[in-house]
């Protein structure tokens, strides 16, 4: 059976439109509650976190109603990062964790991500089972078995305290001036508090959420704001998080941006030298730059590629016993410390390298030379699949032939938005631009409304 509701990262869409309606959230809550309720005893618990979107209130209440109708007790964490939900699901011995967030998307979107009792995102099989239950409907429990809901105020602080344990013992951030851009999202309190408690001089950006300004000209998808702040304040480092803080971009003291590939390249090289890199490999997606692959190969480190999406990275890591992986977009997964991508954790580990080596962020943030890469997004409408059209396929084949062994193409549908992503890499930037332009024109022509 093919999944309909779930994409590459939970259920996501335009708020108050299918599937991001209160009605569907109630059904999802009831279905997930029924699936994860182990027996008839009223002692099961769910933790729910959210980011700062206005629609989060609606979805939080609807999910709570659905879950309690199946006998699940709900613990409401309020605004916390996605990785905090994964962490707290496990540490609070919950049967299920839920994060309400559309990550890096604009405020009009929202999403629902599920975590199993081990703190990892659900498998495809669990998601398919929940979809079946949504369609079939779930019988509510008897009145005396209805679950309860309560606010948990200390969830954010529990997460902060855990992150501090991952920082080198006895070390502090004293003397470092750090810009932290929280994208007006889920980490708007946790990130500045963590850095301040470790002794840093913190310049806060994107910490005034109003329900509608999440990711708006700030955060990991719009690094210009933080880069300007780094230069203006003479900061040592900038940490740019996205709306739910599961991804990060690093900005050095010169205002230059390091993406997930550069961060993973730094960690993989250092961990390999220290004997900490399990399996002698880094797990990344097909989007990671060829320059990263070449850099790792020169050190005898393998790069294992997966489909796009941090859940697929984590699945490959767990299956192969690897402990470092992530995405170019800034999801950095360190399974020694976390069950999912954690932007704040990754930023903290970068700071640990600065503190322990005494090197400037610019010395650490550019570890390899990137191969020129271009990415164009084409929006498509309705049920149209432009990639299935023979004309588009022919243009893509011609492009691959023109690049030959000097580059590569990756053309795919986004798993979170109605977009076709046209990506290519080649040493010859002029040739690359021409190939990408031809494909974009063909895709647009057959993209529908």
377 and 342 both lie in a single domain? no
Given a cut of 60, whether residue 2 has pLDDT beyond it is: no
394 and 307 both lie in a single domain? no
User: For residue 425, is it within any domain?
Assistant: yes
> What CATH number is given to the structural domain containing 44?
3.40.120.10
Angle between helix axes 190-197 and 343-357 (nearest 10 degrees) is 20
**3-state DSSP helix/strand/coil percent for the chain, to nearest 5?**
40, 20, 40
Residues 25 and 134: their CA atoms lie apart, in Å, by 10
389 and 307 both lie in a single domain? no
Reported as a pLDDT band with limits 50, 70 and 90, residue 7 is: confident
**Of the candidates 248, 198, 253, 206, which has an alpha carbon nearest to the alpha carbon of residue 227?**
253
Residues 210 and 197: their CA atoms lie apart, in Å, by 26
295 and 338 both lie in a single domain? yes
**Of the candidates 244, 255, 251, which has an alpha carbon nearest to the alpha carbon of residue 215?**
244
> What CATH number is given to the structural domain containing 384?
3.30.310.50
**Of the candidates 221, 230, 190, which has an alpha carbon nearest to the alpha carbon of residue 207?**
190
**Of the candidates 203, 223, 208, 196, which has an alpha carbon nearest to the alpha carbon of residue 330?**
223
Given a cut of 60, whether residue 377 has pLDDT beyond it is: yes
- Segments forming the whole domain that contains residue 312: 260-346
pLDDT for 382 equals 62
108 and 23 both lie in a single domain? yes
User: For residue 224, is it within any domain?
Assistant: no
SS3 134: helix
pLDDT, one tens digit per residue, over 154-197 is 999 999 999 999 999 999 999 999 999 999 999 999 999 999 99
Given a cut of 70, whether residue 449 has pLDDT beyond it is: no
pLDDT, one tens digit per residue, over 325-335 is 999 999 999 99
19 and 124 both lie in a single domain? yes
339 and 380 both lie in a single domain? no
Residues 52 and 78: their CA atoms lie apart, in Å, by 9
Q: Which residues contact 8 (CB under 8 A, 6 or more apart)?
A: 307, 308, 309, 311, 312, 415, 416
Mean pLDDT taken over the chain:
94
Percent of the chain with pLDDT strictly greater than 70: 98
The tally of domains found in the chain comes to: 3
pLDDT for 165 equals 97
Given a cut of 70, whether residue 41 has pLDDT beyond it is: no
Provide mean pLDDT across the span 363-387: 89
pLDDT, one tens digit per residue, over 228-257 is 999 999 999 999 999 999 999 999 999 999
- Strand partners of residue 110: 13
37 and 130 both lie in a single domain? yes
User: For residue 117, is it within any domain?
Assistant: yes
pLDDT for 20 equals 97
Provide mean pLDDT across the span 5-24: 94
Residues 159 and 83: their CA atoms lie apart, in Å, by 9
88 and 25 both lie in a single domain? yes
296 and 403 both lie in a single domain? no
Given a cut of 90, whether residue 318 has pLDDT beyond it is: yes
User: For residue 182, is it within any domain?
Assistant: no
pLDDT for 1 equals 47
SS3 262: helix
CB 317 within 8 A of CB 333: yes
326 and 382 both lie in a single domain? no
CB atoms near residue 99 (< 10 Å)? 31
- Which positions are catalytic? 103
CB 149 within 8 A of CB 47: no
Residues 21 and 11: their CA atoms lie apart, in Å, by 11
Residues 72 and 18: their CA atoms lie apart, in Å, by 25
Which of 152, 169, 198 is the last residue in one of the domains?
A: 152
CB 261 within 8 A of CB 292: yes
User: For residue 116, is it within any domain?
Assistant: yes
Given a cut of 80, whether residue 43 has pLDDT beyond it is: no
User: For residue 270, is it within any domain?
Assistant: yes
285 and 381 both lie in a single domain? no
Structure tokens at 330: 């800034």
User: For residue 82, is it within any domain?
Assistant: yes
User: For residue 276, is it within any domain?
Assistant: yes
Which of 98, 122, 152 is the last residue in one of the domains?
A: 152
Given a cut of 80, whether residue 217 has pLDDT beyond it is: yes
**pTM: predicted TM-score of the whole model, two decimal places:** 0.90
């Amino acid at each position: 059976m093919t999944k309909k509701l779930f994409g590459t990262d939970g259920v996501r869409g335009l708020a108050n439109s299918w599937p991001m309606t209160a009605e569907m959230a109630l059904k999802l809550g009831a279905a997930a509650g029924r699936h994860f309720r182990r027996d008839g005893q009223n002692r099961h618990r769910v933790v729910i976190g959210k980011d700062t979107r206005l629609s989060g209130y609606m979805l939080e209440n609807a999910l709570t109603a659905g879950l309690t109708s199946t006998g699940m007790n709900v613990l409401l964490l309020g605004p916390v990062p996605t990785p905090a939900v994964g962490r707290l699901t496990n540490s609070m011995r919950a049967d299920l964790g839920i994060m309400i967030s559309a990550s890096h998307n604009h405020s009009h979107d929202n999403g629902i991500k599920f975590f199993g009792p081990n703190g990892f995102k659900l498998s495809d099989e669990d998601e398919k089972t929940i979809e079946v239950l949504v369609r079939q409907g779930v019988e509510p429990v008897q009145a005396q078995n209805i679950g309860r809901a309560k606010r948990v105020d200390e969830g954010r602080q529990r997460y902060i305290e855990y992150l501090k344990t991952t920082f080198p013992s006895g070390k502090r951030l004293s003397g470092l001036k750090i810009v932290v851009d929280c994208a007006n999202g889920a980490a708007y309190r946790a990130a500045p508090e963590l850095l301040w408690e470790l002794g840093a001089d913190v310049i806060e950006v994107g910490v005034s959420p109003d329900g509608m300004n999440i990711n708006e000209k700030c955060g990991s998808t719009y690094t210009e704001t933080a880069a300007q702040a780094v230069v203006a304040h003479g900061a040592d480092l900038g940490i740019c998080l996205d709306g739910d803080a599961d991804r990060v971009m690093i900005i050095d003291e010169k205002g230059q941006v390091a993406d997930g590939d550069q961060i993973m390249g730094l960690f993989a090289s250092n961990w390999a030298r220290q004997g900490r890199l399990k399996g002698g490999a880094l797990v990344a997606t097909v989007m990671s730059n060829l320059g990263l692959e070449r850099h790792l190969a020169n050190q005898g480190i393998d790069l294992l590629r997966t489909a796009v999406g941090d859940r697929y990275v984590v699945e490959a890591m767990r299956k192969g016993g690897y402990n470092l992986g992530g995405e170019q977009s800034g999801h950095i997964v360190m399974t020694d410390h976390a069950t999912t991508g954690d932007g704040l954790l990754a930023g903290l580990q970068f700071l640990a390298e600065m503190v322990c080596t005494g090197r400037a962020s610019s010395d650490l943030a550019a570890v390899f030379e990137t191969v020129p890469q271009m990415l164009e997004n084409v929006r498509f409408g309705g049920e149209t699949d432009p990639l299935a059209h023979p004309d588009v396929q022919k243009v893509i084949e011609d492009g691959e032939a023109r690049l030959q062994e000097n580059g590569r193409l990756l053309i795919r549908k986004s798993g979170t938005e109605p977009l076709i992503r046209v990506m290519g890499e080649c040493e010859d930037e002029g040739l690359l631009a021409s190939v990408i332009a031809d494909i974009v024109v063909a895709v647009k022509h057959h993209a529908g409304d």
